[in-house]
Amino acid sequence: MYEPAEDSYLLLNSIKPHGIILEMCTGSGVIAGSLAKQGLSVTAVDIDSLSLDYARIHNPGPRYVCSDLFTDILGEFDTIICNPPYLPNDVIGGNVVADKALYGGKQGYEFILQFLDQAVSYLHDNGSIYLLFSNLSQSSIILRHADSLMLSYEKVNEQFVGLGETLYVYRLWKSAVWFATKDVMGIVYLTHGKHGVLWTGNLSGQKVVIKSQQGFAKPSVQVVKEAQMLQAVNKVGIGPSYVRHDDVHVVMNFIEGKAFHKVKHTTKMLRELIRQCFELDKLGITKEELRRPRSNIIVNGDVVMIDFERSHYDLKPRNVTQYAGFLIVHNYLPTQAISLLRQYSSKPLEVYKQLYNLIRGPDNNH
């Protein structure tokens, strides 16, 4: 049984419970019992039946349930509280120390991720999760996982407990993106970008990508900017098709294919990309990231630019010149192109046409 310690009391003093309450990993029941004494409706859960026997005697009042996480739990809760096992496994003499009350997995966060995966389905729309973990649990991975589940979060308390360890209490709740995408079916987490989080789903029979800012800032300047840029570049046939946006998320059609840096380059592909760069220059938009086109370009027969979050209107757009730098470095353009690029600002169309014809991919197909 996990005896009450500084983490138990830190969590107890950090929560603002309301409504129907569930405490996961209750251990001795000190938190659940305290809340029950306040007249609150509390269900307390633990996988260890001996801990629950102790809790029923020493902290009466809650409804105690023996369950492996949410296996035997029904219903939704307004407040879900969890002081999980959060330390990385200890290894002594080549053997892993097995104590489920303390160790959350090899890295310390594995149990916590499982808990969050399940807790979302039991959380009322207006509810909160209060979760305690340690800096030793790799908090960045835990919060990144919360992003993937469309959970907003805030740190509500912390305490240094010595030997380089700090405990944190976070409140998590269903983000605005969760509510804004209720009409999207089969949502599945896709990936994290540098600033955003992406999911796939199905909207009106169409596979789409949902994109939001990490941490779900509201309103998100980044999201609104990408939506505006998408609508602008779509007018010249560039980028994934814009579907909709609000101030927290943008939806666009999903582009099947492989990242630019993972496919064999052809002359046709390289020329098509410089053509799109020239179209962006005519719009007065600099996309950025074209010096190193990688996963921001998708190839599926077509060549599709994605990720317009860094794009911006520019009096001197630089797409052709940035991309030409990449081509020269990889010997897809001869060095004579350098002198041509110096003339691009004064004779853009003429220089573009010459660059286009000079491009030679590894296939040397013209």
Q: Residues 225-271: pLDDT tens digits?
A: 999 999 999 999 999 999 999 999 999 999 999 999 999 999 999 99
Please report the pLDDT score of residue 232 as a whole number: 98
Rounded CA gap, 72 and 64, in Å?
12
Q: Rounded to an integer, what is the distance from CA 40 to the centroid of its chain?
A: 34
pLDDT above 50: residue 155: yes
Categorize the per-residue pLDDT at 193 as very low, low, confident or very high, splitting at 50, 70 and 90: confident
CA angle 246, 199, 270 (to 5 degrees): 95
- Whole-prediction pTM: 0.89
Taking each helix axis from N to C end, the angle separating 221-234 and 267-283, rounded to the nearest 10 degrees, works out to 110
Pair of tokens at residue 42: 């509390």
Rounded CA gap, 4 and 163, in Å?
19
Domain ranges of the chain: 6-174, 178-253, 258-358
Categorize the per-residue pLDDT at 366 as very low, low, confident or very high, splitting at 50, 70 and 90: very low
Whole-number mean pLDDT of the chain?
A: 93
Cα distance between the two ends of the chain: 73
CATH class of 258-358: mainly alpha
6-174 is a CATH 3.40.50.150 domain: yes
pLDDT above 50: residue 315: yes
- The CATH number for 178-253, chosen from 3.20.20.140, 3.30.200.20, 3.30.413.10, 3.40.50.10860, is 3.30.200.20
Categorize the per-residue pLDDT at 215 as very low, low, confident or very high, splitting at 50, 70 and 90: confident
Top-confidence residue, 222 or 116? 116
Taking each helix axis from N to C end, the angle separating 319-329 and 348-358, rounded to the nearest 10 degrees, works out to 30
Please report the pLDDT score of residue 363 as a whole number: 85
Q: Are strands 123-134 and 77-82 parallel, antiparallel or unpaired?
A: parallel
CA angle 189, 194, 196 (to 5 degrees): 45
Categorize the per-residue pLDDT at 187 as very low, low, confident or very high, splitting at 50, 70 and 90: very high
Residue in 140, 162, 16 with CA at minimum distance from that of residue 79: 16
Instruction: Average the pLDDT over 349-361 and give the result.
Output: 96
Residue in 325, 233, 246 with CA at minimum distance from that of residue 282: 233
Amino acid letter, residue 145: H
Residue range 47-97, pLDDT digits in tens: 999 999 999 999 999 999 999 999 999 999 999 999 999 877 665 555 655
